Amino acid sequence: MRFPNSFPKMLVVVAFVFAILAGQRSVAQKKETVWSTDEKPLAEQIRGLRALSDDVRARTTKDLALKIRQLPMTENKLRLATGLAGLSTEGDFGHETLQEVANTLADTLREKPVPGKKGEPAFGYIELATLVRYEHVQAALDDPQFAEAMARLEADDRKREHPKFTLQDLAGKKWSFSDLRGKVVVVNFWATWCPPCRKEMPDLETLYERFESKGFVVLAISDEDAAKVAPFIHERGITFPVLLDPGRKVNKAFIVEGIPHSFVYDRDGKLVTQSIDMRTQKQFLEMLSKAGLE
């Protein structure tokens, strides 16, 4: 799940997803979710996905996608499909699993198109476009909102191609992206309160220790205060640079709307790949190989 990295957005989106799972009153919807006898067990299973081991979670996610697809069309069906999609990218559950999740979301949106608000595509279309662009699944959906969501993601990526920023780390040292030409750089946006961020951090540390001598740099950027970040980093023994962005200027420049979010740049400063959620060590290695680091 891509946790919004500002609390107002976080409350809306997390409430949206977990109201899907728990049947609670949603901040975004302002009404009670009433589940049918077929829907409720699926909502409860989605709610419990994080408690499962990765192999069981992969099988369960795929099975849920297939079961949701068989439900009659209701607003709850879209809630379930969107909620499952938001949790399906928290690690490595296999391309086939992600494809089934995308198929279910696309089929649901095809059955009952959802209007956007204030000129923006509805959330379901953005979620589907995100899976297609960044998780490399396929989706055939002839809807202007889906096309608009895809175009918006492409435009956002163009703005991230040549970043220019300078931030201080916890020790007060300044780091400028332009000074790192010749190195492979991961720019990772995270926060102490974000469970997927915390889960992937040890793998990033392991890779930093392994590849630092080969010109590998991790710049982990948080918009929190140093007083909160410093003890967290010290407790976990993190040695890669942790930069502070209290005004969120760099977050905004990268158009980071959810975390964790990692961008990989090659030695020429070119953006070669990115992740929209937490990654395993294996997945990070695959990303780094695209920047020529193996």
Query: Six-digit token pair at 40?
Result: 């409720």
Residue ranges of domains in the chain:
7-157, 166-289
154-158: long-range contacts (C-beta < 8 A, 24 or more apart)? Answer: 156/255, 157/271, 157/274
**Exposure string (b/e) for 24-49, b if CB count within 10 Å is 16 or more?**
eebeeeeeebebeeebeebbebbbeb
Contacts of 153 (CB under 8 A, 6+ apart): 129, 130, 133, 134
For position 15, what pLDDT does the model report?
42
For position 3, what pLDDT does the model report?
62
Provide mean pLDDT across the span 243-256.
96
Instruction: Flag whether pLDDT at 180 surpasses 70.
Output: yes
Instruction: Flag whether pLDDT at 263 surpasses 50.
Output: yes
Over residues 68-79, the pLDDT tens digits come to: 999 999 999 999
Instruction: Flag whether pLDDT at 18 surpasses 90.
Output: no
More confident call, 16 vs 80: 80
Residue 174 three-state SS:
strand
Query: Six-digit token pair at 280?
Result: 């395993």
Angle between helix 54-69 and 39-47 (nearest 10):
160
More confident call, 233 vs 1: 233
For position 32, what pLDDT does the model report?
80
CA 200/CA 279 separation, integer angstroms: 6
Apex 219 CA angle, 210 and 129, nearest 5 = 105
Query: Six-digit token pair at 85?
Result: 């999609």
Over residues 99-124, the pLDDT tens digits come to: 999 999 999 999 999 999 888 999 99
For position 33, what pLDDT does the model report?
87
How many Cα atoms sit within 13 Å of 112 on the Cβ side?
A: 12
CA 239/CA 68 separation, integer angstroms: 43
166-289: CATH topology is Glutaredoxin (3.40.30)
Task: Report residue 23's pLDDT band, with 50, 70 and 90 as the boundaries.
Answer: very low
- Across 138-204, where does the E strand assignment appear? 166-169, 174-176, 184-189
Provide mean pLDDT across the span 133-150.
95
Apex 150 CA angle, 148 and 156, nearest 5 = 100
Q: CA of 4: how far to CAs of 70, 130, 188, 285, in Å?
A: 30, 14, 14, 25
CA 136 remoteness from chain centre: 14
Provide mean pLDDT across the span 228-239.
97
CA 278/CA 275 separation, integer angstroms: 7
Residue with tokens 């609390």: 7
Over residues 157-176, the pLDDT tens digits come to: 999 998 999 999 999 999 99
Residue 167 — φ and ψ, nearest 5°?
-135, 160
CA 82/CA 20 separation, integer angstroms: 9
Verify cis geometry, omega within 30 degrees of 0, for the bond prior to 144.
no
For position 119, what pLDDT does the model report?
83
